[in-house]
Structure 1
């Protein structure tokens, strides 16, 4: 698969050339979950609702996003439930709990595209499993762009693009890339 194919895809969204689209509209289509989510010293509900600060987010939407993000049961077990404050930068929560709140925040606006930037890399194995389950649920029905070093998180992707020095060097499914015995195969063998 050529680099030209990858470049052609990056210039269009839904068949529309990107330079002809409204930047605000594009941003509203995106949801982001980064490696180290930024949480504010507010309640869990306020942190989730922050994902769409263009409107007042209803409580039922916050709960639905939390359920999809696999964090509702934990929040519901807290004495103050969704009104529990998370502390500065989320210090009252574990890494996995912060990530799942970040997932709920990303889902609150029902984005068409979900960007996952090393979303599980800072987690221990147990937390990674719970967060990965939440991410898999969150990705259903959406285009997802996953940036990952842990290849286990991307094996089921429709297309994997392997980058080296800022360029795409290989593209395909996990099995296609393994058959190539190229850079992806080498990375996979190293990370086992």
Structure 2
């Protein structure tokens, strides 16, 4: 049920770390353990099923909003109650009611009818619909403005504490409520602590936070 943040400059190893965490890459040296068990075979498959991953660029099919949220579920088996619930949390309902009028409206090929921020919100709703036990947000709010990002992250923060959330964010302030943040540099962890702790003990983290605030 932890909220874990990962931060670092471009090329520091964040994507590689996430790929190892999700079992998409196998370590050349060492091993990956989850709850004390080696991540391999059936355990690896079960772990991957337990993860919902939201990338920076979300793939959308030329189908309805509801079908994109319940991605992979046959239309006649979609739980619309759950679609509406996760849409509220991911702030999808707002633009559907304003711009599309219905969850049955199509989004166009690769979501061309939507903005980048709207596509990201559907991606977050899709991950929440999956009801996974681990949610991985990989720059998943990069196209949202400050106010919308705060609203979405606050809603996600209110989710069941049995849900583990791993966040890679382009705005360092997004990680302020994380239980622990890992700062990466050159493929290594160079800092670990809460937001406030890293602001005190890590000059590089403090600089990233200040740059993030100036840019946004």
CA distance in 2, matches of 1:139, 1:37: 24
Report the equivalent of 2:171: 150
Higher helix share: 1
Change (3 A) 1:137 1:39: farther
Equivalent residues of 1:96, 1:131 under 8 A apart = no
Cα deviation, residue 139, structure 1: 7.3
Report the equivalent of 2:35: 14
Using the TM superposition, name which of 121-130 and 101-110 deviates more: 121-130
Confirm whether residue 44 of structure 1 aligns to residue 76 of structure 2.
Answer: no
Report the equivalent of 2:200: 179
Alignment of 1:35-184 (within 5 A): 35-50=56-71, 56-77=77-98, 81-137=102-158, 140-184=161-205
Change (3 A) 1:77 1:136: same
CA distance in 1, matches of 2:156, 2:119: 13
Query: With structure 1 as the length reference, what TM-score do the two structures score?
Result: 0.81
Unaligned residue ranges in structure 1 (runs of 5+): 1-9
Cα deviation, residue 123, structure 1: 3.0
RMSD: 2.7
Relative contact order higher in (CA < 8 Å, ≥ 6 apart)? 2
Unaligned residue ranges in structure 2 (runs of 5+): 1-30
User: 1:106-128 deviations in whole A, cap 9, x for unaligned?
Assistant: 01121111100011223333543
Aligned to 2:176, the other structure's residue is in SS state coil
User: 1:38-59 deviations in whole A, cap 9, x for unaligned?
Assistant: 1111100110111667x93322
CA distance in 1, matches of 2:73, 2:39: 23
Aligned to 2:126, the other structure's residue is in SS state helix
Cα deviation, residue 74, structure 1: 3.4
User: 1:76-108 deviations in whole A, cap 9, x for unaligned?
Assistant: 456651110001111111222211111111011
Equivalent residues of 2:150, 2:174 under 8 A apart = no
Change (3 A) 1:182 1:126: closer
